[in-house]
Amino acid sequence: MIPLTIAQLARAVRGQAVLADGDSSETVVSGTVDTDSRLIARGDIFVAKPGEETDGHLFVGAAAEAGASVAIVEHPVEGAALTQIVVPSAVDALADLARTVVEQVREGGALRAVGITGSNGKTTTKNLLARILEGEGETVSPKASFNNEVGAPLTMLRVTDDTKYLVSEFGASAPGEIARLAGLVEPDIGIVLMVGMAHAGGFGGIEATFMAKSELVRSIRPGGLAVLNADDARVAAMAKIAAERGVDVLWFGRGPDAQVRADDVVVTASGTSFQVTAGGVSAPLKLRVLGEHHVMNALAAIAAATALGVSLADCIARLETVEIAERWRMQPLGSDRVRIINDAYNASPDSMAAALRTLAQITGPDERTVAVLGAMSELGEHAEEEHDRVGLLAVRLGIKRIVVVGQDARRMYLEAVAQGSWDAEAVFFATADEAFEYLKGELRDGDRVLVKSSNSAGLRFLGDRLGESFS
């Protein structure tokens, strides 16, 4: 975090400072801000956030012992040898502090902020864009999927006076969350990837999801830029919102009208090749991240980067160094003998379909497709129908072995059986351990195995175990 006095910090979070011995209101603090006491080092700022499973106030003492200079708390903690700033809400204080820090850095330098949202692809696009921008100057972007009311502000608080680019990822499970987070930075550029069924249960349906994702476009500062998916009708409809705010639109997509476009797409087991056009210039790109669906994520990153002045040639050179989007996202494991694709960090109907299609595309005629599938979360009343659709798609794509894991995913298995995969082509296991024992004996040379589920299903660890077993 940028240097602030304790007085400035208290004003930023609308709190009251309780000074420790040796501190004054003019004492300067500038350490990293975190809600995890285990990550606190000397000079850092600990935010004691109450949680569902534990309370950060229980760890203020541990943070002090680790060398924290300040703790932001909702009530004073007795016996903790550090300055405490008492606030009504630790989460709100975190947001207020992030807003203040970003505003100060903007005033003193040339910081440009990019926000990313969409039902799928946010983390991959964030990583691709960050890889491009890091070659231009200091770039701050989220670790993993830091995109919620805690993770997004923590990312923003990593900016310094030397930061040139801030890339923020905005996720949400309810209306208003993206508006609140994006409002902390008022991005210069907002990227909307797609409007799909992810988190539809929380939003209340696809149209409510559209309204929630459009909150990012409404948060772009006047004179800024909306980077929109021309191939998604709901995202394209956000151009009207952009116009109302005095925000220009840059289109990306696979169609001929997109300003940043992909042509001649070829998908293989080692990546995806395509011809990319941006700013009237065309060049070939070989993306090593598996999956045709990542073409759109790469186009979105290129669109934002070129709008910030990066050449297409530099965009391509840097993207071609990316091997995986992130751990547990289309991550190749195993060996050439048995290839495991671990994509079980997140899942929605759209990403599940894209992953299954990728599995079918990259498997040769003498190889066998195996899909290990778990539940998709946060679909609400749409859950049964969407799990049925996945089972149907797996059969239609000719997946040779469909392994469904977990009671919440059982509908996939039942639908696959109903569609004709009843002679051991589809199997069901209640637990990941049972599925692992089956797969250890079932997998053979030439198999290409997809492991796909929402994070809550825990199949990412099954994917890791399979990767190690067949490495």
Report in angstroms the alpha-carbon separations of 370 from 79, 373, 392: 57, 10, 15
Report in angstroms the alpha-carbon separations of 247 from 112, 239, 243, 244: 15, 9, 6, 8
What letter would DSSP give residue 376?
P
The strand pair at 260-268 and 189-192 is best described as unpaired
Sorted by sequence, the CB contacts under 8 Å of residue 310 that are 6+ apart come out as 132, 133, 135, 136
Which residues lie across from 169 on neighbouring strands?
A: 116
The strand pair at 248-253 and 401-405 is best described as unpaired
Residue spans of alpha helices (H) in 135-193: 151-156, 177-182
Q: Given this model, what pLDDT does residue 198 score? A: 58
Here the tokens at position 219 are 């948060």
Residue 323 · residue 288 · CB < 8 Å: yes
Which domains, from first to last, does the chain contain? 4-88 (3.40.1390.10), 109-319 (3.40.1190.10), 331-469 (3.90.190.20)
Length of the chain (residues): 471
**How far apart, in whole angstroms, are the C-alpha atoms of residue 26 and residue 185?**
27
Residues forming the annotated binding site?
118-124
Here the tokens at position 13 are 């979070």
For 387, the enclosing helix (H) or strand (E) is helix 383-396
Residue 462 · residue 356 · CB < 8 Å: no
User: Is residue 190 classed as helix, strand or coil in its secondary structure?
Assistant: strand
Here the tokens at position 455 are 């994070």
The pLDDT tens digits along the chain (471 residues) read: 999 999 999 999 999 999 999 999 999 999 999 999 999 999 999 999 998 788 999 999 999 999 999 999 999 999 999 999 999 999 999 999 999 999 999 997 789 999 999 988 999 999 999 999 999 999 999 987 678 899 999 999 999 999 999 999 998 777 899 999 999 999 999 999 999 765 555 556 778 889 999 999 999 999 999 999 999 999 999 999 999 999 999 999 999 989 999 999 999 988 999 999 999 999 999 999 999 999 999 999 999 999 999 999 999 999 999 988 788 889 999 998 999 999 998 899 999 999 999 999 999 999 999 999 999 998 888 899 999 999 999 999 999 999 999 999 999 999 999 998 777 899 999 999 999 999 999 999 999 999 999 999 999 999 999 999 999
Entry pTM: 0.88
Listing from the earlier edge strand, what are the strands of the sheet with 45-47? 16-18, 83-86, 70-73, 45-47, 33-34
**How far apart, in whole angstroms, are the C-alpha atoms of residue 74 and residue 91?**
10
Spacing of C-alpha 21 from chain mean position: 42
Residues forming the annotated binding site for ATP?
118-124
Q: Given this model, what pLDDT does residue 274 score? A: 98
